[in-house]
Every structure is written in structure tokens, then in C-alpha cells.
Amino acid sequence: MSDPDAAAVRPSVVTLPERAPCGVVTLIDFFVLRFPRIPEATWRARFAAGKVWAADGPVAADAPYRPLLGLFYRREMEREPPVRTDLAVVWSDDDLLVVDKPPHLPVTPGGPWVRHTLLHLLEGLTGCTELAPLHRLDRLTSGLVVLSRRRSTRAQFARMFQPGAPVEKTYTAVCELTRGDAPERTVLDHHIRRSGDEYWRQVVVPDEPPNASSEIELIATAGRLAAYRVRPRTGRKHQLRVQLAAAGLPVLGDPLYGTRRFHDPEDLTTRLWLDAHGILVTGFPRPGGAHPLTAAWNSSRDPAALFAQAAAAAASDTPRR
């Protein structure tokens, strides 16, 4: 795989809300509020250097807030955490690119990762500047990601991952048994929302109508570990990890919802034992009346082999690659 730092970074865009947040009067006010980890002085330097711009050109830091204004900027990091780059192209045509990504590789820029992302790597590999993921996959999760190759057909293919589409996603999850025996098969229904105190975490809210649903089916057990085939029926952030943890089945190696809460982003030898293993598409309508898409894509990680690796890693108390 090529050097992830080799190519230029695609600019990010933010659209200012129709109603200005409390206390926001100028553009710099918004950026300081929106990106609290970046000092105001850093943003002022970027504005002054023309590194924040609108469609008609650079903007001033102290320019008045303009509702619905689209602003472009490039994320900048002096040093990014290392990532694994051992990805593989599973399938490709004029409209779609299906990739099997390793754990530890973010799909899109975020936090300290800018160039060290799947999107940036694929732009360098394919030369395609219109790539965009059609669904989410956590940085720590391995497996399949489907990307749009053309802006002109993106809206149509984005419907592949909306409720009711003829698409089924299957994950392999290696879980710790924290409450008795492993259930053979069940459906997990919960109400999930973002934590008020920790915006990066999701929480289960009891006694609220379910907005997240996943079907789990037992594959194998070994001691206090169990491997599950998981089929999400909805697609909320961190859904599988949150629901499995709520059911007493936290994913092995999960630093947010599991039994081990420490995670060093520099350490690529440990992993979250969750793999986006399969995507089955049955007659999805293509744009322009072309022949419907039917396909079955799988990651390179056989569920039984993945479970054996996880069990061996857990036995040595190190959830490794």
C-alpha cells in the first residue's frame, strides 16, 4: 500500500446552522465552538493564510456569521497516529467500490486522523476524487465498506443502506460472556442515543421506544467467549457494540463498551473483535433502468478462524490482530 501522506487531502466542508449557536457572532466564534480541541490562535492563523474559504473565495476570521454559509477547510495535523494499511479491493464497477479494511483504519477524516484514512488511501490508489462511503464503519472494526465512485449516481446507491432496501449486512462478533450462558438466537431491541456527557459514546435508554434492532445467532463458544453472527436491522452509530454490551455480551477488546476501557491509538497489535463480514444485495435497482444489482461480498476473515484467533489472544490476555 502506498504512503498515506503522499497525496493532498480533500477539503472538508461545514455548513453554518440556520440559527447561530448561543454566543456566536463571527465566523471564528463558530469554528472555536465547533472544534474545541483546536486553539483560537490556530484558527486565526488558518483564516489569515486563506485556509478557510467559501465558494467565492477566502473569508475573514471576524466576518459576521452567515446562516447556511458553506465553508471549506483542510484538516491539519502535525503528526497522525499510525494505522494499518493492509486493505483489499473486493469488488468494483463504474459506480461502486467495495473494500475490505483492517481494524484501526478510519474510513473518513476525524480527530487526529486526516491522511491516515481509508478514503485518502483509496484516492491515492484509484485516482478517483469522487469517492464517498455509503455507510459507516467504526475505525476499530474490520471488514467491508461500500463506496460510491460517482457523484452523479451517489444518491441512488445511498438508498442501499436505508430501511427496506434489499440489502443484508452480516457481522462476526466475538463477545465476552458477563451474564450466564450464551443465548442461541435472539433479537436485541433498544433505544440508543448519544451520551450527554461524552458525545463520542452512545447509551441505551430504558423505557423508551426502540430505535435500534439487531438479530444475533450463536456460532460457537469457548470458555467465557462466544462468537455471534449479527445482522443489524437498523444502522445507528456504535449500534452493535452498544446493544451487545447491554445484553451482557460486550465485544472482546472494546475500549468504549467492553470490560477493558483503556485504548492506545498507537498500539496496532490489539484489536476490537468485530468484523463486517458480509453484504448481500438482491436486485437493487440501478440508475437509469440498468439491470438490477445482485451481489454477495465477504471479508477475508472466516468467522471460525476469527473466533479461534480471538480465543487464543484472550488466553494470552492480549486481544491481538
For CA atoms 194, 195, 199, 201, the dihedral sign is negative
Residue 189 a catalytic site member: no
- Rounded distance between C-alpha atoms, residue 33 and residue 102, angstroms: 33
What number of other Cβ atoms are within 10 A of residue 100's Cβ? 22
In the block, which residue shows the cell 430504558? 206
The string of pLDDT tens digits covering residues 93-114 is 999 999 999 999 999 987 778 7
Q: Are 182 and 218 in contact (CB under 8 A)?
A: yes
The string of pLDDT tens digits covering residues 23-41 is 999 999 999 998 887 889 9
How much helix, strand and coil, in percent to the nearest 5, is found in the chain?
A: 20, 30, 50
Question: Minimal CA–CA distance to 140: which of 167, 118, 170?
Answer: 118
pTM score, whole prediction = 0.80
The string of pLDDT tens digits covering residues 48-103 is 999 999 999 999 999 999 999 999 998 776 678 889 999 999 999 999 999 999 99
The string of pLDDT tens digits covering residues 118-136 is 998 999 999 998 999 999 9
* DSSP-derived pairing of the beta strands 88-92 and 57-58: unpaired
In the block, which residue shows the cell 469488488? 91
Q: Which domains does the chain have, with CATH numbers?
A: 12-73 (3.10.290), 88-315 (3.30.2350.10)
Catalytic residue, from 138, 189, 254, 264: name it: 138
Question: Minimal CA–CA distance to 133: which of 115, 156, 107?
Answer: 107
Q: Which residues contact 268 (CB under 8 A, 6 or more apart)?
A: 82, 83, 84, 104, 321
What does the pLDDT average to over 238-244? Answer: 97
